[in-house]
Amino acid sequence: MDRPVRVRFAPSPTGFLHVGGLRTALYNFLFARHHRGKFVLRIEDTDRSRYVEGATENLIRTLKIMGLQYDEGPDVGGEYGPYLQSQRLELYRQHAQQLVESGHAYYCFCTPAELEAMRKRQEAAKQPIMYDGTCRRLTAEEVQKRLKQGKPYVVRLKMPREGETRFSDLIRGDVAFQNELIDDQILLKSDGYPTYHLANVIDDHYMEISHVIRGEEWLPSVPKHLQLYKAFGWEPPQMAHLPLLLNPDRSKLSKRQGDVAVEDFLEKGYLPEALINFVALLGWNPGTDQEIFSLQELIEKFSLERVNKSGAVFDLNKLNWMNGHYIRELPEEKRVAFLTPFLKKAGYDVSDPEKTRKVIAAIYKRIERGIDVKEQAAIFYQDHLEIREPEAREILQKESARTVLRTFLQKIAPLHELDVQTFSQVMKEVQRETGFKKQDLWMPIRVALTGVTHGPDLPLVIEILGKAKIESFVRQVLSAEN
């Protein structure tokens, strides 16, 4: 590395953090930590039309929940601040003026109506939609005249009209753009606010950013940015453009296809560690079959050389599998603390900590997300047993099953209580009296107590339900019509 590694995550506060934004933040974080560099959070809040109140605070909170602690940012400070672009406006205006004076940018006085008419002419002629350079051709006298008249203006970048702009991307290799196809980008808007392009370049320079790691959608912006670096006489950072995130049908991942905000996943009971692990593998691979990584392992193994060029498919089934793995790996105390709020949200009584602990112990191996507890824990909180599975209903319709259940009911009737030990003894007696073994013996009991053919371990079910509810459920099954 020629200079110390300094990278930044620079979101716009326009809403919740998208999983694509999480991946960009994560890759920047991993790259910085791997190279013992600095990870900077910068909020690009100059587009006031899209600004959402509270979005900055939400971004900061989400990054911290996900364990991506930055070294510099709006709330932690740093020697290169301020880290909110809205607090750096004078710097952008000065540099926009400098570009005009050096001949690398120009004032554009075209009105919105004139720009719309221009766009329609280009569409009708099947030409590329871009600014046609009307104000670029104005003489110095014409420009001064319009400025004196107080006409509103923007500042546009004066892109070269010939040749090409080439650069080497750390992921994509050599990339080339034809300059004639690149628009004269607006750099400073009529309200005095900079566009993304001007503010981005200026801030990356003054914050001494060494590597820009961002999404593939910003690739067409690179020629404009390189032109700005050249105009200012600055050394550009190295660049790496990450592949798109795709749905399984290869369409671009977007809000229209469902949840894409990190908050949505957290609310449904995905663990931050699982999300981080899953998102890390969306475009990057370690070169081995390993799929489960701690954050420290990701830091040690991450490199841009192993990031793919092609789009990465967001496989929700894999995320669910991975999250289930992380839930099962939690120490019991943490698992209970994580899943109890989901039981409460589902409407279940969690006032008895011991019962709650037992319920979670019974179901946690069968869930993949926090919200799955609603269905899996239902049997422990309901008074009426619902049997929806066709296979379960078929089992209970067999005369052999009803024989087992009637015998079981007779055997537990004189008992004061039914615990794991007495249950085991009862089942031995039922087996001796009925002659049924294995599935024919155990499956009717399982279905009668849980309503399903596959569920929590029966000893755990017995311990939680207690004798009264067990008797009630078995009687409900026996009294139901065949």
Q: Tell me what the mean pLDDT of segment 363-369 comes to.
A: 96
Q: Tell me what the mean pLDDT of segment 266-286 comes to.
A: 97
Catalytic residue among 145, 230, 255, 309: 255
Give 14's DSSP letter: S
Q: Tell me what the mean pLDDT of segment 14-27 comes to.
A: 94
d(CA 222, CA 318): 34
Element at 34 (helix H, strand E) = helix 19-34
d(CA 17, CA 58): 8
Domain 88-242 annotated CATH 3.40.50.620: yes
For residue 388, what pLDDT is reported? Answer: 82
Tens of pLDDT along 231-248?
999 999 999 999 999 988
Confidence of residue 258 (pLDDT cuts 50, 70, 90): low
For residue 464, what pLDDT is reported? Answer: 95
Confidence of residue 47 (pLDDT cuts 50, 70, 90): confident
d(CA 429, CA 434): 9
For residue 127, what pLDDT is reported? Answer: 92
For residue 313, what pLDDT is reported? Answer: 93
Under DSSP, is residue 324 helix (H, G, I), strand (E, B) or coil? Answer: helix
Q: Is the pLDDT of residue 103 over 80?
A: yes
For residue 260, what pLDDT is reported? Answer: 85
Q: Tell me what the mean pLDDT of segment 360-379 comes to.
A: 96
Q: Is the pLDDT of residue 297 over 60?
A: yes
For residue 253, what pLDDT is reported? Answer: 86
For residue 259, what pLDDT is reported? Answer: 64
The percentage of residues in the chain with a pLDDT greater than 90, rounded to a whole number, is: 88
Q: Is the pLDDT of residue 255 over 70?
A: no
Residue 259 falls in which region: left (phi positive, over 0), alpha (psi -120 to 50) or beta: beta
Is 189 assigned a catalytic role? no
Domain 6-85+245-313 annotated CATH 3.40.190.10: no
Top pLDDT among 371 and 256 is at 371
Q: Got the DSSP string for 122-163? A: HHHTT---S---TGGG--HHHHHHHHHTT---EEEE---SSS
* CATH among 2.60.40, 1.10.3470, 1.10.8, 3.30.110 for 330-380: 1.10.8
Tens of pLDDT along 303-323?
999 999 999 999 999 999 999
For residue 256, what pLDDT is reported? Answer: 55
d(CA 63, CA 70): 9
Instruction: List the beta bridge partners of residue 261.
Output: 18
- 390-479 belongs to which CATH class? mainly alpha
Q: Tell me what the mean pLDDT of segment 144-151 comes to.
A: 97
Tens of pLDDT along 381-400?
988 888 888 998 999 989 99
Domain boundaries, the chain: 6-85+245-313, 88-242, 330-380, 390-479
Whether 88-242 and 390-479 share one fold: the answer is no
For residue 257, what pLDDT is reported? Answer: 54
Q: In angstroms, what CA-CA distances link 86 with 41, 100, 197, 201? A: 14, 22, 14, 15
Pairing state of beta strands 186-188 and 245-246?
Answer: unpaired
Contact 243, 310 (CB under 8 A): yes
